Amino acid sequence: MWKYIMLALSIGSLTGMFLFHGEESQAMEILEIRSDVSVQAANMKGIKQENWSLQYKLKNQDLYVECIIPDFSLTKEMKENGGYLLIKMNGQKTAEMHQAAFMLKNMPPGEHTMEIIPVEHNGKQFAEPISFEIKVNQS
């Protein structure tokens, strides 16, 4: 499904651009949200798993996600009880996030299955994944 994948680091955040097969003019951008930035919680949908939860909101072609994972640190450095969030869209790895809140901007139109998985730095899954369905409308 992916024709090209380009990842670029920006100061203080991870930004990725994805060009979709047949839609090279349409790029999806991935942003980690700084801890001092908040998004209005109104209209956010929540999902709880046994030991963690997330909330998400789709607005136009932008998906905002916020995760709460007790006893687990999201870090880039190797650290005990630390790791990252593996983000999958339609079964394909999309990103590794090191912040609890992030935004996927300019998502491609259509129905998508999103899967968020907390993963330890050693590659072991920390908790059960949370999956949800979204429908992105043409802008």
Helix (H, G, I), strand (E, B) or coil at 44: coil
* C-alpha span between 54 and 57 (Å, rounded): 10
CA distance 87 to 14: 13
Rounded to two decimals, the pTM is: 0.72
Q: How far apart are CA 64 and CA 8, in angstroms?
A: 20
Q: How far apart are CA 119 and CA 127, in angstroms?
A: 8
Q: Give the model's pLDDT for residue 81.
A: 81
What per-residue confidence (pLDDT) applies to 79? 81
Assign residue 76 a region (left: φ > 0; alpha: ψ between -120 and 50; beta: otherwise): alpha
How many CB atoms are located within 10 Å of the residue 64 CB?
Answer: 19
Fold of 43-136: Immunoglobulin-like (2.60.40)
136 pairs with which residues across the strands?
A: 110
pLDDT, averaged per 10 consecutive residues of the chain (139 residues), comes to: 25 34 50 52 79 95 95 89 95 95 94 97 95 92
What are the sequence ranges of the domains in the chain?
43-136
SS3 category, 37: coil
Instruction: Give the separation between CA 101 and CA 131, rounded to whole angstroms.
Output: 16
Q: What is the pLDDT of residue 5?
A: 25
SS3 134: strand
